[in-house]
């Protein structure tokens, strides 16, 4: 399989088990899942969970980690529902700010797919693959770097026009794997990545537009569920399928039509703590990269840049918005 990726360029994928997983129904569905949620009305770029998931696999493959960890990276997002983290705001799971519904259902979801059988045929253990403790490069807690965080941030930066692909490819030459950690060769590159991620978080991941997108997507999906326009299982189809299924009722349902206009950014929306219709909290992300100092010791960027400690502490708090809709 020859695949042209926006971050890693043209690559050939030959591993039989990986090819079967990519071609599985569970993985192919991700082509219809927006990485951001419902991006097009709110952002000037768009990419899918399919692109990101393949990207995590390609990053891990690039650094020649075990096949098991490459596979874990490939399938890590297969349980994402339509509208990605928009589901956290649709279901009765608190404020939605944790954005962890996908993580809660991941194992149960995977076990119901063809993935376990594919792995078994290739003499690979599904239990091992589903145990995140086995794969420290794929996933780590914020503010550490991990393959998931590296890929979606660089992918967003390229799509948003903040960096170019050639710059990213050179960037990888400064990034190493040391003792199961992602480590930059020097403080300059660690700092550049940290500041890029901060910009992405403030402008995209936890910005006002994301708050509006998550809130309106959650309201629209929740209303569709409450009226029986869709059922719970429909949430695990594609964005397009759910949109088409609910949209059939727009002409006859004024409330649904209003929520649809809000979801498509067709009404005025302001952040007004003194006069608001809805309070929304959004998960905030930040990184504090590791790097090698002059003594070849592994230390954090915040150990050199004291101000970064304060930034990390501040950015780890969920961002709160007070949305006032024109109608």
Domain count along the chain: 1
Inside any domain, residue 258:
no
**Which pLDDT belongs to residue 139?**
96
Within-domain flag for 184? yes
107 domain-assigned: yes
Whether the pTM exceeds 0.95: the reply is yes
CATH number, domain with residue 125 = 1.10.3210.10
**Range(s) of the domain holding residue 181:** 2-207+284-323
194 occurs within a structural domain: yes
Residue 94 forms part of a structural domain:
yes
Task: Give a three-class secondary structure readout of the chain.
Answer: CEEEECCCEEEECCCHHHHHHHCCHHHHHHHHCECCCCCCCCCCCCCEHHHHHHHHHHHHHHCCCCHHHHHHHHCCCCCCCCCCCHHHHHCCCCCCCCCCHHHHHHHHHHHCCCHHHHHHHCCCCHHHHHCHHHCCCCCCCCCCCCHHHHHHHHHHHHHCCCCCHHHHHHHHCCEEEECCEEEECCHHHHHHHHHHHHHHHHHHHCCHHHHHHHHHHHHHHHHHHHCCCCCHHHHHCCHHHHHHHHHCCCCCCHHHHHHHHHHCCCCCEEECCCCCCEEEEECCCCCCCEEECCCCCEEEHHHHCHHHHHHHHHHCCCEEEEEEECC
pLDDT at 95: 62
Answer whether residue 255 is part of any domain. no
Per-residue pLDDT of the chain (327 residues; tens, 9 = 90+): 999 999 999 999 999 999 999 999 999 999 999 999 999 999 999 999 999 999 999 999 999 999 999 999 999 999 999 999 999 999 965 567 788 999 999 999 999 999 999 999 999 999 999 999 999 999 999 999 999 999 999 999 999 999 998 889 888 999 999 999 999 999 999 999 999 999 999 999 999 999 999 999 999 999 999 999 999 999 999 999 999 999 999 999 999 999 999 999 999 999 999 999 999 999 999 999 999 999 999 999 999 999 999 999 999 999 999 999 998
Identify whether 190 is part of a domain.
yes
- Give the per-residue pLDDT at 170: 87
Please report the pLDDT score of residue 107 as a whole number: 97
State the residue for tokens 């537009």: 209
Q: What is the pLDDT of residue 94?
A: 52
Any domain includes 245: no
Alpha-carbon span 287 to 163, nearest angstrom: 18
User: Which of 84, 53, 49 is closest to 71 using CA atoms?
Assistant: 53
């Amino acid at each position: 399989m020859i695949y042209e990726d926006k971050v890693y360029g043209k690559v050939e994928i030959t591993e039989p088990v990986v090819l079967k997983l990519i071609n599985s129904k569970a993985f192919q569905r991700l082509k219809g899942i927006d990485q951001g949620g419902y991006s097009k009305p709110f952002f000037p770029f768009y990419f899918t969970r399919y692109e990101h998931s393949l990207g995590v696999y390609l990053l891990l493959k690039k650094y020649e980690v075990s096949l098991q960890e490459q596979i874990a990276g490939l399938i890590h997002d297969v349980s994402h529902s339509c509208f990605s983290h928009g589901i956290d705001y649709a279901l009765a799971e608190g404020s939605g700010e944790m954005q962890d519904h996908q993580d809660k259902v991941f194992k149960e979801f995977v076990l119901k797919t063809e993935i376990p059988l594919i792995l078994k045929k290739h003499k690979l253990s599904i239990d091992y693959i589903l145990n995140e403790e086995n794969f420290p490069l794929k996933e780590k807690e914020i503010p550490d770097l991990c393959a998931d965080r590296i890929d979606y941030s660089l992918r967003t930066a390229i799509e948003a026009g903040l960096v170019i692909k050639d710059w990213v490819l050179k960037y990888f030459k400064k990034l190493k794997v040391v003792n199961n950690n992602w480590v930059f060769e020097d403080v300059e590159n660690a700092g550049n990545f940290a500041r890029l991620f901060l910009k992405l978080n403030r402008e995209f991941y936890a910005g006002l537009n994301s708050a509006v997108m998550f809130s309106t997507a959650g309201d629209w999906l929740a209303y569709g569920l409450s009226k029986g326009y869709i059922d719970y299982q429909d949430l695990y189809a594609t964005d397009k399928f759910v949109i088409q299924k609910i949209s059939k009722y727009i002409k006859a349902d004024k409330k649904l039509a209003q929520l649809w206009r809000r979801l498509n950014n067709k009404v005025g929306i302001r952040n007004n703590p003194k006069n608001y219709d809805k309070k929304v909290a959004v998960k905030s992300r930040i990184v504090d990269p590791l790097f090698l100092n002059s003594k070849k010791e592994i230390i954090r960027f915040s150990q050199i840049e004291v101000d970064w400690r304060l930034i990390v502490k501040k950015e780890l708090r969920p961002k709160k918005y007070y949305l006032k809709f024109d109608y």
